[in-house]
Amino acid sequence: MLHAHTVEAVRRAEAAAMARLPEGALMQRAAAGLAAAVLELLGGGYGRRVLLIVGPGDNGGDALWAGARLAARGSRVEALLLADRVHEAGLAALRAAGGRATHDLDRLHAAPDVVVDGIVGIGGRPGLRPEAVAALERYDGVPVVAVDVPSGVDVDSGRVEGPHVRADLTVTFGTHKVAHLVDPASTACGAIHLVDLGLAGDLGPPALEALQPDDVRALLPRPGPTAHKYTRGVVGVRAGSDTYPGAALLAVAGANTGLAGMVRYVGPAHVADTVRSVHPEVVGAGRVQAWVVGPGGGDDAGAMLDAARADGVPVVVDADALRHVAAPLPGCVLTPHAGELAAMLGVQREPVEASPLEHVREAARRWECVVLLKGHHTLVADPGGRVRVTTTGVPWLATAGAGDVLAGLVGALLAAGLEPHDAASVGSWLHGAAATEAAAGGPLTATRVAVQIPRLVRETLSGAR
């Protein structure tokens, strides 16, 4: 499991580690990891031009000590100092290694091969001062390596307010931070490289989790030697309408990926005929262990939700059915995108997109159930505040019908016996990973995502991923 922690948790862990270690040991470990990452990015150090943009805190000290290591490897290192006082020992080390430092942007030499952002660290406030903005604009287009987090983002919320660094690579220390995983700040991080500082035992519970292949493998349902179709779980789908018959096909496709023992479809007769012509193994009404309700339901979505809830089993509530959620739904899973969640919460879409972590937690508390907020990094929150982040997927997944497939997939996992939080987060991970494989670097459709899921599950179970 990949964990992310808050600034407070990191500060406590660093303080505990510094009490055990020689003075300056943590910064030296961080600087060594940062310098190694820059060297790897550049493909070597000798003759390379490195610009450090340095603020007043320890983040700037990490950059300066790393710069000293790079200068010792033959790099031409310059530091633009944005404060009257910066980390003194780091600055002295840089100069001793042959690096240069100046407070004047116009006194810098030739354009660098890489810019190292040591402006502000995890204790900084959102936004950047004008002198930092001017320096970044001067070297627009040059690869940027952020030290710990891109300067200017809100570390604990993932919010972005005002100017901020957009990094090609972020080198972080000790643990991931919330901003590395949560939009919109995560989009400013580029690739993320974690340098181990030995803090794991002092960090405490994480603020966020992100499933990794081993975690998914452990959670995936597997049939036992005496299993039959009913013991493996039956998932029902109530979806589709005269206007949107395809939504039923896609929701069924997500449910009918082999993770549950049987799929039932209940909907308009002509839609049911179409569903069974494509998926002949799908049957009609009967007992289920979970329902998927809403995709393409149109005006009938409210009645679909009422009928599903009457069975007393977990329900995945998606698309049109979300408009009919008025009371708490314990044991269920809501799967809105930002616009749908905004409507449910009675706010505009922009605040949800600006602070998705805050809003998904609020929604999970309000409706007392798991809420899966779809996005670049999908968030899955439970009523107690626990959140998992999905980091699989590709931009090509933003395609019509993909959410219908996801709803069906989550429903199948619920029917197979996973708890709602696990079903939603495993389903989201599989959905994103299947899309990545199906896209292969190019466009894809929702149907191709569904087709890819059984192959992805096989690879995951075998350890091939």
Regarding whether 238 and 128 lie in a shared domain, the answer is no
Regarding whether 203 and 66 lie in a shared domain, the answer is yes
pLDDT of residue 106: 92
User: Mind giving me the DSSP string for 229-279?
Assistant: TTTT-EEEEE---SS-HHHHHHHHHHH-SSSSSEEEEES-HHHHHHHHHH-
Q: Which domain-ending residue is among 178, 210, 242? A: 210
Residues 6+ apart with CB under 8 A from 154: 125, 126, 160, 161, 179, 185
Regarding whether 125 and 74 lie in a shared domain, the answer is yes
Per the CB < 8 A criterion, the answer to whether 40 and 33 are in contact is no
- Return the HEC string of 373-439: ECCCCCEEECCCCCEEECCCCCHHHCCCCHHHHHHHHHHHHHHCCCCHHHHHHHHHHHHHHHHHHHH
Regarding whether 391 and 301 lie in a shared domain, the answer is yes
| Omega before residue 184 within 30° of 0, cis | yes
The values of phi and psi at residue 252, to 5°, are -65, -40
User: Mind giving me the DSSP string for 168-208?
Assistant: SEEEEESSEEHHHHSTTGGGGS-EEEEEP-S-GGGS-S-SE
Please, which residues bridge with residue 116 across strands? 52, 145
Regarding whether 409 and 303 lie in a shared domain, the answer is yes
pLDDT of residue 464: 81
Regarding whether 375 and 238 lie in a shared domain, the answer is yes
Q: What is the CATH number of the domain that holds 136?
A: 3.40.50.10260
pLDDT of residue 110: 78
Regarding whether 192 and 277 lie in a shared domain, the answer is no
Residue 452's domain spans which residues? 213-462
CB-hemisphere CA count at 13 Å for 191?
A: 10
Q: What is the CATH number of the domain that holds 434?
A: 3.40.1190.20
Q: Which domain-ending residue is among 174, 193, 210? A: 210
Regarding whether 327 and 181 lie in a shared domain, the answer is no
Q: What is the DSSP letter of 100?
A: E
Strands 379-381 and 387-389, sheet pairing: antiparallel
Distances (CA, A) of 187 to 123, 134, 180, 377, 395: 20, 21, 8, 9, 12
**Structural domain count of the chain:** 2
Please, which residues bridge with residue 265 across strands? 237
DSSP 3-state assignment of 78? Answer: strand
Q: Which domain-ending residue is among 195, 210, 225? A: 210
Write down the pTM of the prediction. 0.95
Please, which residues bridge with residue 67 across strands? none
Regarding whether 279 and 171 lie in a shared domain, the answer is no
Regarding whether 234 and 145 lie in a shared domain, the answer is no
- Taking alpha carbons only, the member of 258, 313, 305 closest to residue 282 is 258
pLDDT of residue 272: 96
Regarding whether 19 and 120 lie in a shared domain, the answer is yes
**One pLDDT digit (tens) per residue for the chain, 465 residues:** 999 999 999 999 999 999 999 999 999 999 999 999 999 999 999 999 999 999 998 999 999 999 999 999 999 999 999 999 999 999 999 999 999 999 999 999 879 999 999 999 998 888 999 999 999 999 999 999 999 999 999 999 999 999 999 999 999 999 999 999 999 999 999 999 999 999 989 999 999 999 999 999 999 999 999 999 999 999 999 999 989 999 999 999 999 999 999 999 999 999 999 999 999 999 999 999 999 999 999 999 999 999 999 999 999 999 999 999 999 999 999 999 999 999 999 999 999 999 999 999 999 999 999 999 999 999 999 999 999 999 999 999 999 999 999 999 999 999 999 999 999 999 999 999 999 999 999 999 999 999 999 999 999 999 887
Regarding whether 170 and 221 lie in a shared domain, the answer is no
